[in-house]
Structure 1
């Protein structure tokens, strides 16, 4: 395959990725989804529902919901967290997406490509699930099976685009869940709207121009809004295309297409070896369901610290200093030395490890401002520092490696290495029971115990639902 080179990118001069995406969206059927992909997809969907509830009373979701009510308009879909209030479809999708990413607890795509630093890979569930759930309400009744097909279609499109793109995309500062998530949301909405042919191509062109989000906003309220906007923009692209709005019909391809402009190009060998649904990315390489509500890059280090603290019965008052050694793949994005609020804490090794020392857990409560800003948290964070480790860097980014050295006040050292397949990933997944327990944890304090169990039951039986709008109704607190 010939490669066209310019000052910006390397792209195949006969690339037809846009057409391949459109064909997949139009032709894929539920029967083509492998049994294992259905099994994992249902887990991701249930996890996503819990995250919608967890984020529904988060400040970011409350603000965008208030703005949606002020804007008003057609009552297409329920406004998350606002009872029976209904708003236009794009606004409903915006609030769902923002809430779903508010706690940074949503699942992460996995790759076997050693060039793919983990941050490049998208959070694949929330953009297409937000778009599908909102669109299904506008078109009601939509069966649960059709909603699930739309969700899985968007999930696959999002992951393949992310997998094929050069890692320059993330290294340049783009947030993949915002940019690539837009295509996942579009694919889900387009599938439910039954777009075909040129309308799909035009919608992809619109999505390519809408895709945006930069990493400087990590640790702020804007990061979850990135995903909310991805859901909103994907839905908007589908609605405009349905009405005949035009765009470039090969907007993923060529020297000025999405891959070239935002990612520097595509990995031709992977494109030639893979296709949409061949294999399904949710199965191979897989997806990680997060045990902790923070950046996945911190998770192996959190597990290591928990192991060291428990096995050595380390008490907070015994800790003199903690040094965390890691490579640039972790230290660059996990960038806050001392977190001053819950948003910064999600991108601070000092903060998440302080939680473990103090409470031996890092869950929803530990990531609230009251805990992060407490005197004990601020003091413990000040005793910790990070250090770049050339030896860890040289091992590459196929694993999220780190090393911890705890210096106790009695002069003893406690050390350990995180060089394992992380908990929650495909090789060490959460059990079904752990996923359900996470959903309960997400919903606690927002839904009643009865409502939580109802949500779990409805989400688990998604394929049997006659009207997928029932899912949206179970998300709303009474």
Structure 2
């Protein structure tokens, strides 16, 4: 199969008018969720660092740095906004790329979209196009790709971003193949960096790489014509020992992953693999009403893939806590909730939570489904309870409601935007397909957070 050619033809020919019913709704939900997370990331230390970095570049100011009151070059805006979108690990998830689809994808689209004052319909069209390209490539090379240590948000996210950028720039099929080839040589991102600032860098770098590759291809920059399927190309390099399943690409444009599998939206600001344990302990406490002091021991049972994601058994920082089954379970047990304020260095190192974490053990069950977990708990006095969570809240089979998604956006954006700006941005995002161009939306999102105006 001529994979690169097929993908480039899909990108060129993709039309929102021919995409399935439901694709637009999911795309708009994902964009609202991602922008909420970006606004939240803007007021975090990582947001300050990356915004200062790109502002110091003093590039031509055409694309907004969300929450920072400044504009810069599109590739730098994509970098900054992509990092901020993933800063708190509160952003969406897709099993197609084994990662977070929107933080590498949407910042690239908005950076170029603002420069060229594109319509809301074109933004949605580019989003779905990029999502489908990343997903089909992910299905072809995962789970081996992920298990070898690659971070799909970074690797497949780059291919999402370049596909969407090529679509927005209206590259022809030949230019699009060049863009894919350039982007493939920009791909990077390893999972050992989970729990550090470099994990969010993955998504920003992917967004930036997609913009750069498309803009270079537009100017005539060249790359290998068959970069995806070539013997030394993207698929064989990043899949591993077995050949990629190119049959997954054959369905591109015939079925749409965004409607068949959907996108998950997080109710908790931690790694998605921690959510089943959080829900299991909360369910057990609601059912049996025991105090945390009565807990003698907890066993968390999940797959080897889940184990490899939750790297930090004894976290020492707030970021590490997001990738710790032990911390998230202990925090849920102590507080009967897990929220944004729980992922600070101080909270992770609290004496009470450390004491509870010592009672928690992992057991790996290779047959357990991805994202599922069983939690076994033993109380003082001998009582034992067990709770299994197969599909955590927020996944398409157990979704957040529209009201919950809007509430999450409002909560994330309140540290940056006024109430009236939040209301207006919600209205614009809900009716994105009606916007003649996205300038008004970006003029709201760029505003400097109130906490930094003095």
Q: What's the TM-score bracket when you normalise by the shorter of the two chains?
A: over 0.9
Q: For residue 453 of structure 1, what is the aligned residue in structure 2?
A: 423
- What are the residue-to-residue correspondences of 1:65-464 with 2, within 5 Å? 65-83=51-69, 85-110=70-95, 121-140=98-117, 142-264=118-240, 265-272=243-250, 274=251, 276-388=252-364, 392-393=365-366, 395-397=367-369, 399-418=370-389, 420-464=390-434
Call closer, same or farther: CA 1:318–1:452 in 2, change over 3 Å.
Answer: farther
Asked if 1 retains the 8 angstrom alpha-carbon contact of 2:136 and 2:248, the reply is: no
Segment of structure 1 superposing worse, 334-343 or 237-246: 334-343
Cα distance in structure 1, aligned partners of 2:85 and 2:119:
22
Asked whether the equivalents of residues 158 and 187 of structure 2 are also in contact (C-alpha less than 8 Å), the reply is yes
> Aligned-pair distance for 1:206?
0.4
C-alpha displacement at 1:412, in angstroms? Answer: 2.7
CA distance in 2 between partners of 1:252 and 1:164 (Å): 11
- Which residue is 1:23 aligned to? 9
Q: Distance in 2 between matches of 1:339 and 1:166?
A: 28
Partner of 1:210, secondary structure, is: coil
CA–CA separation in structure 1 for the residues paired with 2:62 and 2:418 = 26
| Mapped contact 1:364–1:442 kept (Cα < 8 A) | no
* CA drift at 1:282: 0.5
**Per the alignment, in what secondary structure is the counterpart of residue 362 of structure 2?**
strand
Conserved? CA contact 1:128–1:187, under 8 Å: no
1:373 deviates by 2.8
Distance 1:200 1:401 in 2: 39
Bigger shift: 255-264 or 399-408? 399-408
Q: Tell me: CA distance 1:400–1:240, structure 2 relative to 1, closer, same or farther (3 Å).
A: same
Cα distance in 2 for residues equivalent to 1:64 and 1:30:
34
Shift of 1:208: 0.4
For 2:120 and 2:264, how far apart are their aligned partners in 1? 24
In structure 2, distance between residues paired with 1:251 and 1:40: 30
**Distance (whole Å) between structure 1 residues aligned to residue 173 and residue 435 of structure 2:** 29
Cα separation, 2, equivalents of 1:361 and 1:396? 25
Q: Aligned with 2:393: secondary structure?
A: coil
Q: Distance in 2 between matches of 1:106 and 1:459?
A: 17
Query: Do the aligned partners of 2:151 and 2:190 also contact (CA within 8 Å) in 1?
Result: yes
Match of 2:35 among 49, 55, 77: 49
- Report the Cα distance in structure 1 between the residues aligned to 2:56 and 2:29, rounded to whole angstroms: 35
User: How far did residue 410 of structure 1 move?
Assistant: 4.0
The answer to whether the 8 Å contact 1:121/1:162 transfers is yes
- Contact 2:63/2:72 (CA < 8 Å) preserved in 1? yes
What is the CA deviation profile of residues 279-326 of structure 1, one whole-angstrom value per residue up to 9, with x for unaligned ones? 111011222112222221222221111101222223233333322122
TM-score by length of 1: 0.89
What RMSD in Å do the two structures reach over aligned CA positions?
Answer: 1.7
For this pair of structures, how many residues does the alignment match?
Answer: 446
Equivalent position SS for 1:323? strand
Q: 1:180-211 CA deviation, whole Å, 9 max, x = no partner?
A: 10011111111111111221111100000001
2-structure distance, mates of 1:161, 1:469: 32
Contact 2:31 2:102 in 1 (8 A): yes
Gaps of 5+ in 2: 449-454
Distance change >3 Å, CA 452–CA 317, structure 1 → 2: farther
Partner Cα distance (1:82, 1:327) in 2: 41
SS of 1:174's equivalent in the other structure is: coil
Structure 1 residue 472 corresponds to structure 2 residue 442: yes
* Secondary structure at 2:376 match in 1: strand
**Whole-Å Cα distance in 2 between the matches of residues 327 and 40 of structure 1?**
29
Equivalent-residue separation in structure 1 for 2:271 and 2:109 (angstroms):
25
Q: Which moves more between the two structures, 340-349 or 400-409? A: 400-409
